[in-house]
Structure 1
Amino acid sequence: MEDNQTPQATNDQNRIVPINIEAQMKQAYIDYSMSVIVGRALPDVRDGFKPVHRRILFAMSELGINSNKPHKKSARIVGEVLGKYHPHGDSSVYDAMVRMAQEWNMRYRLIDSHGNFGSQDGDGPAAMRYTEARLQKMAEAMLEDIEKDTVDFQNNFDDSLEEPTVLPSRLPNLLLNGSSGIAVGMATNIMPHNLTEVIDGCIAYIENRDITPDEMMQHIKAPDFPTGGIIYGMEGIKNAMHTGRGRVVLRGRVTVDVKPSGREQLIITEVPYQVNRDALCNRIGQLVTDKTIEGIAHINNESNNKEGTRIVVDLKRDAIANVVLNQLFKYTELQTSYGINNVALVKGRPRTLNVVDMVREFVEFRHEVVIRRAQYELKEAQKKAHILQGYLIALDHLDEVISLIRNSPNPEAAKEGLINAGWGLDEIQAKAILELRLQRLTGMERDKIKMEFDELMKLIAHLTELLSNEGMRFDLIRSELNEIKEKFGDERKTEITLLDDELNIKDLIKEEDVVITISHLGYIKRTSATEYKSQRRGGRGVIGGRTREEDYIEHLFVASTHHTLLFFTEGGRCYWLNVYQIPETDKGAKGRPIQNLIQLNPGDKVKAIIDIADLQDTEYVKARSIVLCTKKGIIKKTALEDFSRPRQSGVNAITIVDGDELLEARLTNGNCEVIMAVKSGRAIRFPEEKVRETGRGAIGVSGIEVDDDQDAVIGMICVDRSDKDRTVLVVSEKGYGKRTPVDEYRITNRGGKGVKTISVTEKTGKLVGILDVLGSQDLMITCKSGMTIRMPVKGISELGRATQGVKLIRLEEGDSIAAISKIDETEDDEPIADVENGENPNPTELNDNQDTSENSASTN
C-alpha cells in the first residue's frame, strides 16, 4: 500500500507553489490601496466626481428624472444605482445623493430634493422611502452630450451594461464644489469656489496658456463656501494656489446689536463651512459653564431653513463685545481652519495640483469633448445627407423607380434593381428609398427634402472646419463657458479679509504724482513731478533725459504711483503696468528698457498710454470706452471693460492692416467729441457716437481722409461736450503753437477731409501734436535732442484756426519737437528762467505776421 500511495502524495506536493508571505501581503495591499484610490476615495480631475456620484447622476439621467420632470422616490434611485452600477451598501449611495442636495454642503447643488434632507444643525435626512429627488439644471449641464460619444464607456460590475468613465461636464466641477476623501496612504481636501470666478479663470487660461498662479488669482481669488463666512488671511491660500497644498482660515459673520435695555448681543448670521450650529451653541454653553469665557449671559439658536442662520449671544452688562468675540474665535469653531490638499486623478494616477493645473486639465478635457462631439455630429450628418441624396435621386427618376419597384417580385429584388439602375445609388440609399412613405413623393415634400439636404451640407462644412481649426474650437469652448456663466453665475458668498501683514502693496507706496518718460528707443523711467520747474513761454528748457544721439523723449506725462497704465503699441497690442513698478530715477537718467517691464513683441514699440486710476472700480470701468486711431486715419472704439483683466503677455487691442500702425489711444465717457489732426494741418471733429463700439479684435472704421503717403495722422483728442473751458492746442515741429476754441471746428461726419487747424509753412514745419487743454494746466514740450520745457498753458495765445501761431520754444539748429503733453499745475511750481542757458524770462509775443530772430529773443 505504501508503494501505491507514494505517487499520489508526490503529485499533491507538485501542485503546491511556495510563495513569500511578505511579498504576497505587499502585493495584495497595493492592489487594495489602488482600488480604493481609483475606485472610491479620489475624484477625477476632469468632472470632479468620485465613481459613486458619477453613477448616481448617470442613473438618474437614464431614468429620465430631469429638472422638468416630477420628483421620484429616493429608494427608486438608490435601487437603480445599486442594481446596475454600484454594488455596495445602500447607505453609501443614499448618503452621497443626500449630500449633493444639501445647500450648506454643496456650493452648487446638483440634485433637487423634496422632503426632509437634513439640516445644518446636524439633523439627519429622512429614510429614502420618504424622500424624493430629481436632477438640477446644473447637473444636466454636466451630462449634456453624453449620448454623442463624447466620453468613453466601460462595462459595469457584471458586464451586463455600460457606464461612463467620466461625465462630459460643461462645468469645472472639481473647483466649483470641491471634494474630500481619505484613501490609503493619501487624502484629498479641495475647497469649493465661485462659478463666475472659475469660468473667468478658464477663459483667461484659454487666452494665455502660460498664465501663472498669481495671474490666475486675479480671477479665482480664493475659495467660496456655501455657508458664506469671512476668509481671514490669504497667505495659506496663496500657497495652495501655487503648490496645491495650503491652509484657509474661515470665520463666521458676527454683528453687534444693542438691546432696548442697553445690553449688547452678538448676532451670528453665518457659521464656517461644515460647522454644526447646535454643536457650536453647546460648545459655547460648555465654555461659559467652565468659566473659560465670561461675559455671556445667554445663547439661543434661532436658525431655521427659511431665514437661515441666526444665533443670538446675549452679553452681560459689563461685558465688552470685542473681547467676547475674540474669545469665541479662539475657543470655538466660529473660527475654523481647513487644510487644502488638491489631490485628484489625472489619467488614472493621483496627482497634487495647483490652481492652474486644475484649470488646464479641465480645459483640455473640454477640448477633447468638443472634438469627439463634432466628429460624432459630422458622422451622423453625413449619414443623413447620404440618405437624403438618395431620396433626391429617386425623386428625379420617380416614374422609373415606381415602375422598377412595382415589377420586382420581392423587396430584395427591388433593392438590387435600384442599385443596378445606373443612378449611383448604394445599398443604404436603396433600402431607405424602399422604406420611403408615399406622402414624401409630393412636390412640397421634395422641396423640404432639398432644403434639409442644403442645411445638412452647411452643417457638414461647419463641422469640418471646426475639426480642422483649433482656434475655432477654443472660441466655441469660450462661448459655452460664457453661456454657463450667464446661466448659473452668482456673486461670492465668502468675504476675503487680509491680515495686517498682507496689506496691498499699494498701501505701502506713497501716493504722489510722478512724471513718466519713454524715449524713442524704448527707455522708460519715472521722476518726481517737482523736479520739473515751470518756465515761461519761449524759454530754452532743461534736459529731460540723457539719451543717445539717435534717441529722444517720445512720451512724457504725469500719473499717480497708485494708478495702472495701459500701454498700446504700434502693432495694436495692449499691456498693463502699475506706475510704482516703473523704476524711479533722477531727471537726467536714461531709464530702463521697457522690454524688461512688459513682454513686448520683437520690433513693436509703445505708441500710446492711458492712465487708469482703478481697474477694480466696476462702475467706472463699465462707463468708459477706449478710442484708438491709426496713422492712416482709422478709428475704433472698444469698451474699457475689455481691457480690465490684465494679462502678462498682453492682448490684441486692434487689428492693424499692412502699412499702418496704431498712433493714439484715448479714454472716453460716452459724451465726447473726437478731433483728429494730420501733418498737413487739417483736423476733423465728430461725435464719438459715430464710431460703433466693437470688440478688441476688430479693425475699425475711417476717421479722417489722409491724402497721400507723405501725409499722416499726428494725433487725436476726445473732448467732453460739457467741458466748455477746454481749447485745442496744436504745435508744429519747429516750435510754433497756439490755442483755438473747440467750437471753431465744425461738427461733421467721420471720414471727411476736415478743416484747417494751423497754417503750415516752411517756417512752422509740419504739424506734430494736438492736445485739449485748460488754462490751469501746464504744457511740457520735448525735443528730439532731449531738451524739455514746461510752461503754463494760459501763457499761450488763443488764435483762430487759419493762423500759424506763436513761437513756444527756441530750437537749436537741426532740432525739432518730438512730443508734447499736458500736466496739472502744482502749487509749489514757480516760474523760473535759466539765464545762464540763454532763456528769455519775458519774451516778446509773436503773432502770425511777426518774426523775431534768436538773438533778439534772448537776454543774457
Structure 2
Amino acid sequence: MADNTDNRDGQGGEELPDDLKRLVDAAEEDAADAGEQDVEQPEPGHTVTSGPVSEEDKARSLIDMSTVANPHGSIIEDANGGEGTTVRAAYLGKEMASSFLEYSMSVIVSRALPDVRDGLKPVHRRILYAMNESGYTPNRPHMKSARTVGDVIGKYHPHGDFAVYDTMVRLAQPFSMRVPLIDGHGNFGSIDGDSAAAMRYTEARLGKAAMELLRDLDKETVDFQPNYDESLEEPTVLPARFPSLLVNGSNGIAVGMATNIPPHNLGETIDATCMMLDNPEVTTAELMTALPGPDFPTGGIIMGKKGILDAYETGRGSLTVRAKCKIEEGKNGKSSIVVTEIPYQVNRQRLLEKLGELVREKKLPEISNIHDGADRHGIDIIIELKKDAIPQVVLNKLYKHTQLQVGFGVIMLALVDGVPRVLSLKETLHYYIAHQEDVIVRRTRYELSKAEERAHILEGYVVALDHIDEVISIIRSSQTDKEAAARLTERFGLTDKQTTAILEMRLRRLTGLEREKIQSELEELREKIAYYNRVLSDPQLVRDIIKEELQEIKKKFDTPRRTQLSDAAKDLDVEDLIAEESMVVTVTKAGYVKRLPVATYRQQKRGGKGMQAVNLKDNDYVEHLFVASTHSFMLFFSTKGKVYRLKVYELPEASRHARGTAIVNLLPLEKGETISAVIATKDFPTDEYLMFATEHGMVKKTSMEQYDRTRRDGLIAINLKDGDRLISVRRVAQGENVIMVSSAGKAIMWPEDEVRAMGRGTMGVRGMNAPADAKVLGMEIARPETDLFVITEKGYGKRTPISEYPSHHRGGQGVFTITMTEKKGLLAAMKIVGADDEIMIMSEEGVVVRTPVEGISELGRSTQGVRVMNVAEDDRVTAVAIAAHGKKKRAANADGAEELDESSIDEMEE
C-alpha cells in the first residue's frame, strides 16, 4: 500500500466519513464474532497483504473477511440499530455464470422445449388444461378467446396475454397443426400471413382430438404440481393418448439449443407405435415402412429420403421441401405453372411478392404474368409463361430463387425427465410408450381402487339385505347413530364404511328388484377387479390395451397423407436452370472458345460463298467446330495429352460475329498447350472406349470410365513422345473399324481390336506409318454405309464409300484416297459422313459454309475431287464438322455430341 498511516487513530491523512466508519465498525464486529468459528480461507484470486494499510483498504478488507467468515452475508446495522444492507462476496464471473445457467434452464424446461411424453410445452399444456377445467369442451358452445386467455394467465401462466393468445391461435390453425387441438370460431389467421382477429372477437373451444390428450386426466394418471402462487394445481404432463410430439411436431429456441420436429400423419405414427409395441427391437428401416416420413399440413413434396433417414436414426437431418406444381398447356401454345401446395411455414403472400419482384427485376424474363388464384377450393398461384419459355427450366429457376423450395432442418430435441435430449425415432417412440404404460397402470390402479371400494359397500348391502329384519330392529332400538353403527359392526362384522352406507341406505333399496341389481353390480365389479389385477400383473396386457386404444383413435381421427415423398435428389443442380438446346461450339487456333445456337447458321447449297461466322484476329483460324447439347460434358484434350472437363453451358455464349473468350480463362493450360480434340458426352459407359491418335501415328484405346472424374489442373489422357502431339480422340465401340488419313493423301483402315485397352497414363502403339515429310491429319471411326469425306486446303473435296478401303493391319502407310495436285493443295481435313448429313466447313479467315453431303460428288479413291467451297487465294480450309445427322434425330454422333433433326434448324434463304 502506498499510504501506511492509520487514519482512524488520527496519525495522518483525512478522517473517514461517518457512514464508512459505521460500515467498518460493523464489519469488525462480524469479523470478531466469526473469529471464534472456523474461518474459511480466501479463495484463489484474493489479494493478501501484510503491514499497515489505509483506513479505506482496511474497511474493504474487513468487509471481505466478514463475508468470507459468513458466506451467506452479514447484516449491517444502521445508526438507529435497524437492519441495513446484506453484503455478500461473489466473483462477478461465477455469479454471471450461475445466474445465466439458472435462467437458461428455466427457459429450456419451462418455456421453449416440449416434453417427449405429451409433446407439449408448458404454455400449450396450460391452455388445454385451463379450457378443460372451465368446460370449454367440444360438446359445449364456443367461448370468447379473451375468457380462455384470462383463465390461463390468471390461474397457471402469469405471462403476457398476447403471447398466450398467439399460442392458442396456432393450436387452431389447420395449416400450422397436422391435427388442430383447438376448434376456433372466427378469424384465426391465414396461410397468407394474416394475423388473427383480437381475442375479444374470436371464440374457441377444445377440439375433439385435444380431448384424447386430456383423457383419463381425472384418474390419477399423471402427477400434479402447484401453480405459480400455490393456490391451484396443474398437471406436470398430460396423459396424451396419441403421440402428439410426432403428430403435430414442435419448434422452439431455447438458450444454446433449439428444437424443430416436423409434423407426421396420425395414422402412420400410430402404426409405427404399434409396430414398436409388438417388437421393441424393431429397426428404423422397418419403422419407416409404417412411418415413411413427415406429413406437413400444407402438403408439398419432400425431395429425397436420405434426410428423413438421418433424422430418424440420429435425431438430426436436413429435408428439402418443394411446392406441388403442375404445368398446364394453354390454347395459344403458351404454358402456365400452377402452384397448388406450398412448403410448410412459407408465407404465401411474401411468396407472391417475391415472384413479382423477380419478374420486375428481369431475373425471370420467361414469366409474362402472375395471378393469385386462391379461393375456397385452394391456394393456387398461376404463373403464365411466354410462348418460347421452357416450363421445366422456369420451374427449376423458381425452386432455386424462391420459397417454392425450402430447407427444413430437423432437430428432434425434447425433454426426457426434465433433461433436453436429441432423440432418434425409436427413442421418441420408446419414451412415449413408457409414458403410456405408466398411464395405463396408474389408471388401472385408480379404477381398481374405486371398484374395490364400491364392491366393499355392496358386500355390506348384501349382508344387510340378508338380515334386514334384524338390522332394522337394531337401528330402531338404538338411541343414536353411533350406537346403531357400533351394534351393527359388532353383530355382522362390518367395517365403518359398510355400516355408514347401511345406515344411509334408503328404504326403496329393500325391494327384491333392487337386491338383484346390487347382486348383479357386485358380480360385475368382481369381474372387473379380477381383470384389473391381471392388467397390473401382465405387462403384455398393458401393451395390448395401448394398441387397442391407439387403433380406436386412429379410426376416429386418421386422414390421408398430404405430403408426397420423392426419391429424387434433393439438390438443384445449376444444370436444372439451363434450357437444354443444341449449340455450335468453336475453338480457334489462337485459343478462343464460344458457343451459340445452331440455328444461327443458315443452310446453303454446294459451292456457296458462305457467311461471316467469326471475326478473328490476324493469323487466327477456327481449328475445332462441333455441335453439342448444353447439358453435355465437354472433354477438352490438349496437344500435350491432358484432358480437362467442363459443361457446355459453362462455355461463354457469344454472338455470331464475336471472337469468343480465351480458353486460358476457362482451363489451366500450360504455355504452348492448345486444344487438339473435344468430346461431348452425357455419360461414361464402361463398354465404350476412347481411341487416341497422335501426329506421328501413335494410337491408344482407353475405357470411357477412366475419364469420369475431374481435376482442376486436368488429367493425364495419353503419354507422348518428344515432339509428338495429340491430334484426334474418338469414341469407339467393340467391332468397329478405325480409319486414319495423312496429309500425303493416304488412308489406312483397321479393326479397333488391333489395339488392346490401356490405362490413361500409357503411350499406345503404332497406328499409321506416315512419311517423314507428312503427318497424320486425323482419325475417324469408319462405320458401314458411310463415306470418307476429304477436302484440300483450296476447297476441293469428295466423298468415297468406306467399302472401297481395304482392311489392313495397323502400322502401315495405307492406300491413296485422293489424287494430289499442287493446285488443290495438301489434304486439310477428313470426316466420316452419311448421305443425309450436313457438314460445316470453316476456313482460316473464319468463313463458314454449311452444305448437305448429298450435294458433294461421290467419287473413287483415285480421283481429284470437286470444288466444295470457294476459298480466297490467301485463305485455306482448316476444319470440318457435322452440322446435322440425317432427317431424324439420333442419340449421338461420332463425337458423342447431341444431334439435331432438320426441324430444329432455322432455315434461312441465301
Which bin holds the TM-score, normalised by the shorter protein?
A: 0.5 to 0.7
Please list, as runs of the form range in 1=range in 2, the aligned pairs for 1:527-546 lying within 5 A after superposition: none
Residue 216 of structure 1: how far off its partner (Å): 1.2
Q: Distance in 1 between matches of 2:483 and 2:524?
A: 33
Q: Which amino acid aligns with 1:63?
A: S
* Separation (CA, whole Å) in 2 of partners of 1:413 and 1:96: 60
Q: What's 1:482 paired with?
A: 551
Which piece of structure 1 moves more, 391-400 or 182-191?
391-400
- The match for 2:50 is none
Shift of 1:302: 2.0
**Cα distance in 1 between the residues matched to 2:417 and 2:496:** 42
Which of 44, 52, 57 aligns to 2:123? It is 52
SS of the residue 2:339 aligns to: strand
Normalising by structure 1, what TM-score? Answer: 0.57
The equivalent of 2:812 in structure 1 is none
User: Which among 514, 518, 535 is matched to residue 445 of structure 1?
Assistant: 514
Q: How does 1:551-570 map to 2 (within 5 A)?
A: none
Give the match for residue 660 of structure 2. none
Q: Which amino acid aligns with 1:349?
A: V
For the pair 1:67 / 2:132, whether they are aligned, the reply is no
Q: Give, as a single letter, the amino acid of the residue that structure 2 aligns with 1:44.
A: D
Compute the RMSD of aligned alpha carbons. Answer: 1.6
- Give the equivalent residue in structure 2 for 1:88: 159
User: Of 192, 211, 219, which aligns to 1:140?
Assistant: 211
- Letter paired with 1:39: S
CA shift for structure 1 position 260:
3.2
Residue in structure 1 matched with residue 399 of structure 2 by the alignment: 329
Deviations 1:679-708 (Å, cap 9, x if unpaired)?
xxxxxxxxxxxxxxxxxxxxxxxxxxxxxx
Q: In the alignment, residue 264 of structure 1 is paired with which amino acid?
A: S
The residue aligned with 1:468 is 537
- The equivalent residue for 2:28 is 10
In structure 2, what is the Cα distance between the partners aligned to 1:100 and 1:8? 59
After superposition, the C-alpha distances for 1:279-324 in whole angstroms (9 at most, x for unaligned) are 10100110111111111111122213x2121111111122221111
**2:453 maps to what in 1?**
383
The one-letter amino acid of 1:442's match is T
* Percent of aligned pairs with the same amino acid: 50
**Does 2:375 match 1:357?**
no
For residues 27 and 419 of structure 2, the distance between their equivalents in structure 1, rounded to whole angstroms, comes to: 47
Partner of 2:282: 211
3-state secondary structure, aligned to 2:238: coil
Q: CA deviation at 1:8?
A: 3.9
Q: C-alpha offsets along residues 238-261 of structure 1, whole Å, 9 cap, x if unaligned?
A: 111110000111111111112333
Q: Is the partner of 2:289 in helix, strand or coil?
A: coil
Instruction: Please give the alpha-carbon distance, in whole angstroms, between the structure 1 residues aligned to 2:111 and 2:432.
Output: 21
- Secondary structure, in 3 states, of the residue corresponding to 1:490? coil
Determine the C-alpha separation between the residues in 1 that align with 2:279 and 2:26: 74
CA distance in 2, matches of 1:40, 1:335: 31
- Tell me the CA shift for residue 343 of structure 1: 0.3
Q: 1:158 aligns with which of 199, 208, 229?
A: 229
Residue 313 of structure 1 corresponds to 383
Corresponding residue for residue 835 of structure 1: none
Deviation of the 1:477 alpha carbon:
1.0
Q: Distance in 1 between matches of 2:407 and 2:276?
A: 29
Q: Partners of 1:138 and 1:334 in 2: how far apart?
A: 31
Instruction: Give aligned pairs, total.
Output: 499
Please state if 1:270 is matched with 2:270. Answer: no
Q: Secondary structure at the match of 1:218?
A: helix
Tell me, in whole angstroms, the C-alpha distance in 2 between the residues paired with 1:426 and 1:204.
48
The separation in 1 between residues aligned to 2:29 and 2:206, in whole angstroms, is 61
The answer to which structure, 1 or 2, has the higher relative contact order (CA under 8 A, 6+ apart) is 1
Does residue 251 of structure 1 match 2:322?
yes
Unpaired runs of at least 5, structure 1: 503-860
The 5-angstrom pairing of residues 582-731 of structure 1 reads: none
Give the Cα–Cα distance (whole angstroms) in 1 for the partners of residues 521 and 503 of structure 2: 20
Aligned residue for 1:38?
109
3-state SS in 2 of match to 1:272: coil
* Residues 177 and 191, structure 1, Cα contact 8 Å, conserved in 2: yes
Match of 1:19, SS state, is coil
Deviations 1:741-764 (A, max 9, x none): xxxxxxxxxxxxxxxxxxxxxxxx
Q: Which residue of 2 aligns with 1:404?
A: 474
CA distance in 2, matches of 1:76, 1:302: 37
Partner of 2:784: none
Q: Report if aligned partners of 1:294, 1:324 keep a CA contact under 8 Å in 2.
A: no
Q: Measure the CA separation in 2 of the matches of 1:387 and 1:433.
A: 9
Cα distance in 2 between the residues matched to 1:230 and 1:501? 10
Letter of the aligned partner of 1:342 in structure 2?
A: M
SS in 1 for 2:338: strand
Question: CA shift at 1:491, angstroms?
Answer: 1.5
Please name the residue that 1:802 is paired with.
Answer: none
SS in 2 for 1:278: helix
SS at match of 2:264: coil
CA drift of 1:156 comes to 0.4
Whole-angstrom distance in 2 between the partners of 1:164 and 1:144: 13
* Cα displacement string for residues 199-241 of structure 1 (whole angstroms, at most 9, x for unaligned residues): 1111111111111111211111011000001111111111111
Q: Is the 8 A contact 1:85 1:163 kept in 2?
A: yes
Pair 1:223-2:241 in alignment:
no
Would you say the 8 A contact 1:101–1:112 is kept in 2? yes
Aligned pair partner of 1:346 in 405, 416, 420: 416
Q: Does 1:393 align with 2:411?
A: no
CA distance in structure 1 between the aligned counterparts of 2:396 and 2:570, rounded to whole angstroms: 19
Could you state the TM-score of these two structures normalised by the residue count of structure 2?
0.54
Secondary structure at 1:302's aligned position in 2? strand
Instruction: Return the alpha-carbon distance in structure 2 between the equivalents of residues 17 and 84 of structure 1.
Output: 36
Question: Which whole-Å deviations, capped at 9, do the CAs of 1:764-790 have from their partners, x for residues lacking one?
Answer: xxxxxxxxxxxxxxxxxxxxxxxxxxx
Distance 2:158 2:428 in 1: 30
Whole-Å separation in 2 of the counterparts to 1:19 and 1:206: 53
Report what 2:746 is aligned to. none
> What residue number does 2:778 align with?
none
| Distance in 2 between residues matched to 1:407 and 1:75, nearest whole Å | 61
| Alpha carbons 2:303, 2:569 under 8 Å: kept | no
Preserved CA contact (<8 Å) 2:127 2:168: yes
CA drift at 1:11: 4.3
- Indicate if the aligned counterparts of 1:278 and 1:301 stay in contact, CA closer than 8 A: no
In the other structure, the counterpart of 1:238 is 309
Match of 2:648 in 1: none
What is the aligned partner in structure 2 of residue 425 from structure 1? 494
How many Å separate the matches in 1 of 2:530 and 2:267? 34
Secondary structure of the 1:180 match is strand
Q: How does 1:754-833 map to 2 (within 5 A)?
A: none
Secondary structure, in 3 states, of the residue corresponding to 1:365?
helix
- Tell me how far apart the structure 2 counterparts of residues 8 and 218 of structure 1 sit (CA, whole Å): 75
Q: Is the contact between residue 315 and residue 412 of structure 2 (CA under 8 Å) also seen in structure 1?
A: yes
Secondary structure of 2:172 counterpart: coil
Aligned partner of 1:752 in structure 2 is none
CA separation in 1, counterparts of 2:473 and 2:463?
15
2:677 is aligned to none
Is residue 114 from structure 1 mapped to residue 185 from structure 2 by the alignment?
yes
Matched position secondary structure for 2:225: strand
Structure 1 moving runs of 4+ over 6 Å: none
Confirm whether residue 173 of structure 1 aligns to residue 191 of structure 2: no
Q: 1:27 aligns with which of 98, 101, 104?
A: 98
**1:461 partner amino acid:** A
CA distance in 2, matches of 1:68, 1:262: 55
Q: Give 2:485's aligned residue.
A: 415
Summarize deviations over 1:171-218 as a string: whole Å, max 9, x none: 000000000000001000000011111111111111111111112111
Tell me, what secondary structure is at the counterpart of 1:39? helix
- SS at 2:317's partner residue? strand
CA contact (8 A) 2:320 2:570 kept: no
CA distance in 2, matches of 1:327, 1:245: 28
Contact 2:304 2:570 in 1 (8 A): no
- 2:798 aligned partner: none
